[in-house]
Structure 1
Amino acid sequence: MGTYTLRYKSCWWVVAALLLCIGCRTSLSTRWPQYPHDHALPSIPALIGQMVAEPLHVLDKQLQLKPLFSEDGQAVSGYDGGRQEEEHEREREHEHERHQKEEEEHEHHHHHEKTQRQESFVLEKPIKVIKTEAGELRMLPQAGINSELVRQRLGLGFLSLEPKALLIPQYIDADCLFLVHEGRGQLSWVEEGDVQEVDVEEGDVFEIESGTVFYMLNQDEGQRLSIFSIYDTATVFNDQMFHSFFVAGGQKPKTILSGFDEDVLATVFKAHADEVGDMLSSQTQGPIIYFSGRNESKRGDAAGLGLGKSLTDMLDRYIGLPTDSGKKPYNLFKEKADFGNDYGSTTTIHGKDFKLLKALNKGVFLVRLKAGAVLAPHWNPRATEIALVTKGEGETQIVYPNGSAAATQRVSEGSVFFVPQNFPMCQIASQSGSFEFMGFTTSSRPNRPQFLAGSNSVLKGIEAEVLASSFNIPVEHLQHFLHLQPEAVILPGQPTKPNLDTII
């Protein structure tokens, strides 16, 4: 009985194998290329012999069957084996996704660090918002690195007036602090119905309040008048750059009077409609025009501004003659330096020096470095610093809080750079000549800069044992290191290396 059962089972196994081979003829043709479709099938003994000779797992792979046996030889269910294989495949996919995500995060982190290292603190070039033959006004755009100033609700402007040029009467919707860095001129504004005026020159600092009508004239016959301005844009509508509202003008620029019905204007001014039409259409030269000359017998006469007799009569009724307001600009260049040595000087003006600065919560500064000199590494605890390079060229270095270099950038005359509050920085003059920059700070209080190097280093105020342990160096080495530099604030740079070819 046992022999019969064994033979019976063996026979069925052979028959099943043969049927499997016939049913998978395409797979067999692929597996055994020596037996193409147009040839007869191999004999059963040959077929069985070749099947037995082949490893079972290879045959399974060719026939794309699930494994029937585990690696340790234990029988498993075909369906269970399929599920295990699927689970292994999912685990491999998850592992691949995890590695890919880690690589992407690493690449993003690397890109972020690279971006930080390459970040620019030199502001983008200003755009021209007014341009005529007589001058131009450029404003800082609100995109890119400049957006940091926008976030602080600050705007920067650069006004240039050619000799004998006039910026026509207007008011703006932002408090303005301006600093004259070239030329001289005259600023006039309307206060309580009277025209006030002051003469301004290089180094003068003055303020125009939001909504105050003002105009500016370059009286010089041979030099351009250049003004660097900072604006507090907190009150500006729709978070834009400040707006100019021209109270005088015509077709170009349009005066704000043009927005009213001419009949209403004729009524409120008690003028004829023709006079109103003439007033609103005569000016076509733009916001900055060449000035034709004042009538000295009546300096408030608007005819000298080229605005027409009708407007002259109207303005005379409401404005009148210029008077002395008692307000005077404060001259940065004439102020005594806060610090000076053989390598340069620094000068600052704060609210305690000039009341207008206290009202605007702004400060003004000037730095002059001789060739190769270094304004020692330091930070400003109270304000962001915005600087315009007015002479020479040099380098500014800024450091992130994590100790990595935020920027090392070359700057030259006309460049504008800023340093955020509390960010460590230093400036280095070129070896080829002096380097000067001036600008504004965002606080009217004294900055009290904290210097890292020099005889006044803040590090010297820390207990030697504490500082030495923090650096993990001997106290003696630390004290020697901190006392190597005898100078303060502005330090000598590296001496120029001698040219050995010229030494005899």
Structure 2
Amino acid sequence: MANRTTLLVLVLVLCHGVAMTMGFWKKEMEKEQHWHPKPDKLFLMQHLKRMVKTDAGEMSVLESFGGRIMDRRLNIGFITMEPRSLFIPQYLDSTFIIFVRSGEAKVGFVYKSKLVEKHLKMGDVYRIPSGSAFYLVNTMEDQTLHIISSIDPAESMGISVFQSFFIGGGAQPASILSGFEPKIIETAFNVSGAELKKIFTRQHEGPIVHLDSSRPSSIWTKFLQLNEEDKLQHLKKMVEDWEEHDDDDDVDDDEEEEEQQQQTRLSWRKLLESVFRNEKKETKEKVAHKSHHSCNLYDRKPDFKNDYGWSVALDGSDYHPLKKSGIGIYHVTLSAGSMMAPHVNPRATEYGIVLKGSGRIQIIFPNGSNAMDTHIKEGDVFFVPRYFPFCQIASRNGPLEFFGFTTSARKNRPQFLVGATSLMRTMMGPELATAFGVSEDTMKRVVNAQHESVILPTPWAEQHAHNAKQKKKEGETRLPKLIRNGVIMGF
């Protein structure tokens, strides 16, 4: 009876301790902006703000919270742009790291007073520093552009998750230039107020607009689309035509008109020379702007791969611009039923976006109690505070793919708690056995039982991998038979 009473007291104390711990961390999470997540959604980001919505596209941002448990917060942005659309020129009060989830884009931004344009394809990662003027274009004729981004609120003015300063614009959105007093802006542009009024009142479609493809292209738009040789021939022809036209003019033209025509011819020749000088200069500038290259996540070989999945990570040593922002990037695919082994990020908070599939994530409090154990599906965004143990498990129905950001540009070096390359395996010895209160032989038997590392099989994942191998093997043995029987004679 006494033993039962003691056991009951211990259970009550343990339950009280767990409840106190959960209450403390939940309270920390709730401190900011009256955020009250459900216990099973504690580390899911659900505070969505729609920043922009037009016929041509939209941008929404998930705002992160977490109080003192977060070493550094990131907001996660989602941009969708319809084919042939433009996110108008602007600059932000936050560094903007973009990942092209699908489609192709052109980003233009000003660097050292020069316009630099970069074409991005699916899988590309690109950094736009805070305060840098830029625009985004969906260059595809028939494909929607999807971008995932990280936005650093540490640099923000705190008015919103981030603040856009639109350079282009009109009635909606207003250009920052339209706020200046008319006389000031007229003087600055050296253009009449009537002319400026046309510019600053015409655009009313919002920050993301359709490119007007129905309007006939100007001669210079067509000219810029030509290759270098055609540009040269085109300009030469224009100069020659102009000079022939001059020769046909009446000899009675007065001296003033003749001088004006000479100046015009000279201007055309200068233009002809300068265009190609500038193109050579542009080539040099492209070399100078190498630091503004993109890095494609899908082109990289996995850092880890086995029968149950793979993972790849980008840090500041792989893509230098990340070093300036102190941000890392990762991409993981788990096969059906596979599990990312329980692990800890010792250097960074992790933000993850489920790209495909569904599964489960479990996160543990420092005292060993459950912080969150919940189902995740495509579109869900989770975060894991630094030092908190966690694992992800793919559903039995199919693979789980997720992409995300970490709050460190150094190699994250996650510490795996279980598996063939785990902390437990490395620390195996009498001290570890004593810590668990078992014999060293028992401890070794348990710790060495798992032969896989990092991405681990579950019973249904093992069966899935076995079936895949068997199918591949059957295909390899079946092919020679088909050839022998003359079935593939047509090849």
Question: Kindly, what percent of the aligned residue pairs are identical?
Answer: 37
1:41-70 per-position Cα deviation (integer Å, ceiling 9, x unaligned): xxxxxxxxxxxxxxxxxxxxxxxxxxxxxx
- How far, CA to CA, are the matches of 1:114 and 1:491 in structure 2? 30
Matched, 1:270 2:167: no
SS at match of 1:382: coil
Q: 1:375 deviation in Å?
A: 0.5
Q: 1:450 deviation in Å?
A: 0.8
Give the letter for the 1:261 counterpart.
E
Q: In the alignment, which of 129, 148, 155 is matched to residue 51 of structure 2?
A: 129
Are the counterparts in 2 of residues 371 and 434 from structure 1 also a CA contact under 8 Å?
A: yes
Q: In the alignment, which of 424, 434, 457 is matched to residue 459 of structure 1?
A: 424
Describe the shift of the 1:178–1:146 C-alpha distance in structure 2 as closer, same or farther (beyond 3 A).
farther
Matched, 1:339 2:265: no
Describe the shift of the 1:126–1:278 C-alpha distance in structure 2 as closer, same or farther (beyond 3 A).
same
Are the counterparts in 1 of residues 106 and 136 from structure 2 also a CA contact under 8 Å?
A: yes
Matched, 1:249 2:172: no
Q: 1:494 deviation in Å?
A: 2.5
1:237-294 per-position Cα deviation (integer Å, ceiling 9, x unaligned): 2463211000010000000011101111111110011011111100011110001247
Q: In the alignment, which of 81, 101, 123 is matched to residue 161 of structure 1?
A: 81
Matched, 1:288 2:214: no
Give the letter for the 2:23 counterpart.
H
Q: In the alignment, which of 294, 309, 326 is matched to residue 361 of structure 1?
A: 326
- How far, CA to CA, are the matches of 1:296 and 1:128 in structure 2? 37
Structure possessing the higher relative contact order (Cα contacts under 8 Å, 6 or more residues apart): 2
SS at match of 2:460: coil
- How far, CA to CA, are the matches of 1:115 and 1:384 in structure 2? 17
- How far, CA to CA, are the matches of 1:446 and 1:497 in structure 2? 30
**Bigger-Rg structure (1/2):** 1
Q: 1:119 deviation in Å?
A: 5.2
Are the counterparts in 2 of residues 374 and 493 from structure 1 also a CA contact under 8 Å?
A: yes
Matched, 1:482 2:393: no
Q: 1:187 deviation in Å?
A: 0.8
- How far, CA to CA, are the matches of 2:425 and 2:462 in structure 1? 31
1:195 equivalent in structure 2:
115
Q: Paired residues, what number?
A: 373
- How far, CA to CA, are the matches of 2:129 and 2:337 in structure 1? 40
2:134 equivalent in structure 1:
214
Q: In the alignment, which of 194, 206, 223 is matched to residue 297 of structure 1?
A: 223
Are the counterparts in 2 of residues 233 and 239 from structure 1 also a CA contact under 8 Å?
A: no
- How far, CA to CA, are the matches of 2:432 and 2:146 in structure 1? 48
Describe the shift of the 1:275–1:149 C-alpha distance in structure 2 as closer, same or farther (beyond 3 A).
farther
Segments of 5+ residues of structure 1 without an aligned counterpart are: 1-104, 300-319, 499-504
Are the counterparts in 1 of residues 71 and 385 from structure 2 also a CA contact under 8 Å?
A: no
2:414 equivalent in structure 1:
449
2:156 equivalent in structure 1:
236
Q: 1:462 deviation in Å?
A: 1.7
1:112 equivalent in structure 2:
23
Are the counterparts in 1 of residues 105 and 137 from structure 2 also a CA contact under 8 Å?
A: yes
TM-score by length of 2: 0.71
Give the letter for the 1:194 counterpart.
K
SS at match of 1:485: coil
- How far, CA to CA, are the matches of 1:366 and 1:112 in structure 2? 33
- How far, CA to CA, are the matches of 2:340 and 2:304 in structure 1? 11
TM-score by length of 1: 0.69
Give the letter for the 1:297 counterpart.
F
- How far, CA to CA, are the matches of 1:236 and 1:421 in structure 2? 22
Are the counterparts in 1 of residues 107 and 137 from structure 2 also a CA contact under 8 Å?
A: yes
Are the counterparts in 2 of residues 119 and 406 from structure 1 also a CA contact under 8 Å?
A: no
1:121-171 per-position Cα deviation (integer Å, ceiling 9, x unaligned): 1110522110001000101246xx566799835322111111111101111
Q: In the alignment, which of 367, 370, 391 is matched to residue 426 of structure 1?
A: 391
After TM superposition, the structure 1 = structure 2 runs for residues 26-41 of structure 1, keeping only pairs within 5 Å, are none
Segments of 5+ residues of structure 2 without an aligned counterpart are: 1-15, 28-38, 226-277, 464-491
